[in-house]
């Protein structure tokens, strides 16, 4: 944890006692919706995380500090600021902090904070990825690199629908990021479960996802995982999204400005249907992230023998790495096999 980081008492206690935590972003509050709907989605997401037995850790930059866990007043501040709040990816953290600006974290920005704190699970709507027309723009979201380098599982409904989903899937493979389909063999396309490329593995329930997380982090201590959950009541907005992407392209927008511009058009022209699906999948993904975090914590506790100290998520991996003695590694791995 750095001098720039502040955590709420609730989050600090969860970290100290090794209880399940779920990180949530703030871009959806300030940039994702209008008319206060982002605030409602964030508040409900936190409630769903608690209901599932985990502690929510919503991340944002307020008055020159990274806040992990936000008060109601701070969430309202992001909602009131809207697009005036800076959209903060991993590259933007330092400038936002030093300049004392209000910063709403993206998936990538939130994961950069998770890496500092030791939070292993995150819930969001959709991840960034490879933009359409990449060959001309070279536009790829920093979310992908942060997923690849952060020991965390991100629960999302696939890449945002305005992206090149196939190319994003290929780049995730190149980055060695496992893409787990939550009861689906294909990668969801945000608003719809249909038409995406194959996932690397299908998982049936949270305990199974937790076991894969534990094994992956033992084999690749630095790598992240994408757990892709299809929207419960998806709709096919493909033609409308294509239309919106072309319209925004004609406005010469690029980078972080593209997504909110496209989503604004889609929300308006779908008569609000896209907003309904978007809110629901954000809240459902937060709940699934919490369920998986709880299952992972239970697995971690089962691995430990009575009297063992719990393994700190901040400073160590769940299982000993090469630096541990052979006897210790063998003992812990044998316990993991018993509970798996």
Catalytic residues: 25, 160
How far apart CA 201 and CA 329 sit, in angstroms, is: 27
8 A C-beta contact, residue 176 and residue 220? yes
By CB neighbour count within 10 A (0-12 exposed, 13-18 middle, 19+ buried), where does 212 fall?
Answer: buried
CA separation for the pair 49, 78 (Å, rounded) = 20
């Amino acid at each position: 944890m750095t001098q720039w980081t502040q955590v709420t008492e609730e989050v600090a206690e969860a970290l100290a006692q090794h209880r399940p935590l779920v990180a949530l972003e703030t871009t959806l509050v300030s940039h994702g919706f209008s008319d206060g709907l982002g605030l409602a989605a964030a508040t409900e997401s936190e409630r769903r995380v608690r209901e599932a037995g985990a502690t929510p850790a919503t991340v944002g930059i307020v008055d020159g500090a990274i806040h992990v866990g936000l008060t109601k007043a701070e969430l309202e501040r992001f909602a009131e600021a809207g697009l005036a709040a800076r959209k903060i990816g991993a590259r933007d953290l330092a400038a936002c902090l030093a300049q004392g600006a209000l910063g709403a974290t993206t998936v990538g920005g939130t994961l950069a904070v998770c890496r500092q704190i030791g939070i292993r699970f995150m819930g969001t709507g959709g991840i960034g990825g490879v933009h359409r027309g990449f060959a001309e723009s070279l536009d790829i979201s920093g979310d992908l690199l942060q997923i690849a380098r952060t020991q965390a599982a991100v629960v999302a409904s696939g890449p945002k629908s305005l992206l090149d989903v196939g190319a994003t899937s290929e780049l995730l493979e190149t980055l060695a990021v496992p893409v787990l389909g939550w009861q689906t063999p294909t990668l969801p396309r945000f608003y719809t479960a249909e038409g995406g490329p194959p996932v690397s593995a299908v998982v049936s329930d949270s305990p199974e996802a937790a076991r894969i997380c534990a094994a992956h982090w033992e084999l690749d201590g630095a790598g992240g995982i994408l757990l892709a959950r299809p929207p419960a009541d998806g709709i096919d907005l493909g033609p409308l999204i294509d239309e919106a992407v072309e319209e925004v392209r004609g406005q010469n927008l690029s980078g972080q400005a593209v997504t909110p511009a496209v989503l604004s058009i889609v929300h308006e022209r779908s008569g609000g249907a896209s907003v309904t699906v978007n809110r629901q999948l954000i809240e459902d993904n937060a709940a699934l992230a919490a369920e998986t975090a709880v299952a992972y914590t239970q697995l971690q506790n089962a691995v430990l023998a009575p009297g063992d100290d719990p393994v700190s998520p901040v400073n160590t991996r769940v299982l000993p790495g090469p630096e541990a003695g052979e006897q210790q590694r063998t003992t812990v791995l044998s316990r993991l096999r018993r509970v798996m």
